[in-house]
Amino acid sequence: MDLFEYQGKQYFARYDIPVSPGGVANTVEEAVAQAETVGYPVVVKAQVQVGGRGKAGGIKLANSKAEVETHAGNILGMDIKGHVVRRLWIEKASDIAKEYYASFTLDRSAKQFMGMLSAKGGVDIEQVAAEDPNAIARIRVNPVDGLSEAACREWVMAAKLDDAATDGAVDILMKLYRCFTEGDADLVEINPLILTPDGRVHALDAKVTLDDSSAGRHPEWDAFRGLAQLEAREKMAKDKGLQYVGLDGSVGVIANGAGLAMSTCDTINQVGGSPANFLDIGGGADADVVAGALEVINTDPKVKVIFINIFGGVTRCDEVANGIVEAMSRVEIHSPLVIRLDGTNTKEGHEILEAHASDSMMIAKTMIEAARKAVALVGG
Ligand code: GDP
Ligand code: MN
C-alpha cells in the first residue's frame, strides 16, 4: 500500500523524523484555516500518489490568506498525470539551503536492504542515476545485522553532503532505517531531505510503501487504507471514461448525465440515506459502460446497495436494459441492485429487466421509490 505524503509524514513522525507542522484540507476554506493555524508562509501541496507534483504546479508557496485561496483553488481538482487532486496538505514553509535525497528499499536479488543517499536531491532520482550515477551513495544492509551508526556515518560521508548536515543526516537516517524495518515498509523515500540555513536537517517530502503482507501486524494501517482505495477507484473510473467522485455513504450510484447523478444523490439524502459516490456514465448506457461502472463501485467496501438511475433519451430504455442485463452477467456484483429506468421505450425496457428481477435486482418505477427501496435495504 502506498501512502499519501501527509500519511507518510505521520508515519515518519512516529519514528521521530523531523517534518514540518501542517494539516489536511479538502476545501479552500479548510486550507485557509490550516494556514492560519500553522502561520505564514505556508506551502500548499497536492496530495496525489504520483511524483513530480512540484513541476506540475501542485506545490505552491503562499505568504497570505489571499495566496492560499488562489493556490488551493487552483490545485484542488487539478489533474496531475491522471490523478485528480481531492485534498491538500498545508505545511509551514521551510527555508532551504540544500536539497538531498535519501531512501531505503529492498534489494531482492542480494537479499539485503539498500539505502541510497545523494547530495543531488529535490530532482528526479532516476535522472540523477542516469546522468551522474556516482552522485548516489549506496549502502547495503544485512537485515540480521542491522545498520550501525558507524556504517551510517561512513555512508553519509561517501555521499558528500555538506559538513553542517552530517550529524543531522546520520540521526535521520538511523530513524528512517527503524521506520523502514520496524514499520514494515518496502520503500521509504525522502526527496528532498533538506538542510536549512540554520543547520537543521529535515524531511520535506515523504514517500512510503507499506508491505501488505505485514498488514496483520498493523491494525493502525486501516486508517490509511480508505484514502488509498478511493484514489485507486477514482483513477480506475477515469481510465474507463467515467465521471466518479467518492463520497462517504453506503448507496452506490450509477446515473446517466451529471444532473441526474446529482439529483440521485440528493434523493438518497432526502429519504434518509447517504450516497457512496457520484458516478455519471454519460449519454450512452451500453453493456461496456454499465459493466465498467459496476466494476468501479464493486471495489468500494462501503457500498451496501447500488442504485442505477437511467433516463433513456437518445439511448432507448430497451437498449439500456439489455446493457444492464449483459453487464450483470459479466460482473459479479457484491451488492443488490435497485434500478429505475424511465424515458423512451420504458415499457420494453421494464419487460427485459423484469425477466431477470430477483431479491438482488429490484426494479422501481420512480426515482423516489427506487431511493426508498435502496435505503431500506441498507437499513435492514
Ligand atoms: P514532488 O515534486 O511531488 O516531489 O513534491 P515535493 O514535496 O518534493 O516538492 C517539490 C519541491 O518544492 C521541493 O523539491 C522544493 O524545492 C519545493 N518545496 C517544497 N516544500 C517547500 C518549502 O517548505 N519551502 C521551499 N522553499 N520550497 C519547498
Ligand atoms: Mn519530492
Render pLDDT for 100-153 as a digit per residue (tens, 0 to 9): 999 999 999 999 999 999 999 998 888 999 999 999 999 999 999 999 999 999
pLDDT value at 234 more than 90: no
Q: Are 96 and 203 in contact (CB under 8 A)?
A: no
Catalytic residue among 5, 189, 295, 319: 189
Euclidean distance between CA atoms 303 and 3, whole angstroms? 23
Per-residue pLDDT at 124:
85
Ligand 1 atom at minimum distance from 92 CA: 23
Render pLDDT for 62-93 as a digit per residue (tens, 0 to 9): 999 999 999 999 999 999 988 889 899 999 99
Amino acid at 321: A
Say which ligand is closest to the CA of 5. 1
In terms of Cα–Cα distance, which of 202, 207, 212, 166 is closest to 189? 207
Q: What's the distance, CA 260 to chain centroid?
A: 27
Dist. CA 54 → ligand 1 center (Å): 6
Say which ligand is closest to the CA of 56. 1
Per-residue pLDDT at 130:
92
Please name each of the domains of the chain with its CATH number.
21-92 (3.30.1490.20), 98-223 (3.30.470.20), 232-379 (3.40.50.261)
Per-residue pLDDT at 330:
87
Render pLDDT for 5-39 as a digit per residue (tens, 0 to 9): 999 999 999 999 999 999 999 999 999 999 999 99
**Cβ neighbours, 10 Å, residue 259:** 11
Q: Nine-digit cell at 33?
A: 484555516
Per-residue pLDDT at 282:
86
Residue nearest to atom 9 of ligand 1 (CA): 54
101 in active site:
yes
Ligand 1 atom at minimum distance from 191 CA: 8
What are phi and psi for residue 305, nearest 5 degrees? -155, 150
Residues in the chain: 380
- Beta-strand pair 243-246/251-255: unpaired
pLDDT value at 45 more than 70: yes
What number is the average pLDDT over the span 261-282? 95
Amino acid at 121: G
Residue nearest to atom 3 of ligand 1 (CA): 53
Q: Are 275 and 265 in contact (CB under 8 A)?
A: yes
Ligand 1 atom at minimum distance from 50 CA: 3
pLDDT value at 48 more than 60: yes
Determine whether 335 is exposed, middle or buried from the number of CB atoms within 10 Å of its CB (0-12, 13-18, 19+).
buried
Q: Are 304 and 251 in contact (CB under 8 A)?
A: yes
Dist. CA 104 → ligand 1 center (Å): 20
Euclidean distance between CA atoms 201 and 165, whole angstroms? 6
Per-residue pLDDT at 128:
92
Residue nearest to atom 12 of ligand 1 (CA): 54
Q: Residue 116: beta bridge partners? A: 103, 138
Computed over every residue of the chain, the mean pLDDT equals: 93
Catalytic residue among 101, 231, 244, 319: 101
Render pLDDT for 173-207 as a digit per residue (tens, 0 to 9): 999 999 999 999 999 999 999 999 999 999 999 99
Render pLDDT for 314-342 as a digit per residue (tens, 0 to 9): 778 898 888 889 888 888 888 999 999 99
Q: Which residues surround ligand 2, an ion (CB under 5 A)?
A: 191, 205
Q: What's the distance, CA 133 to chain centroid?
A: 32
In terms of Cα–Cα distance, which of 106, 134, 96, 121 is closest to 190? 121
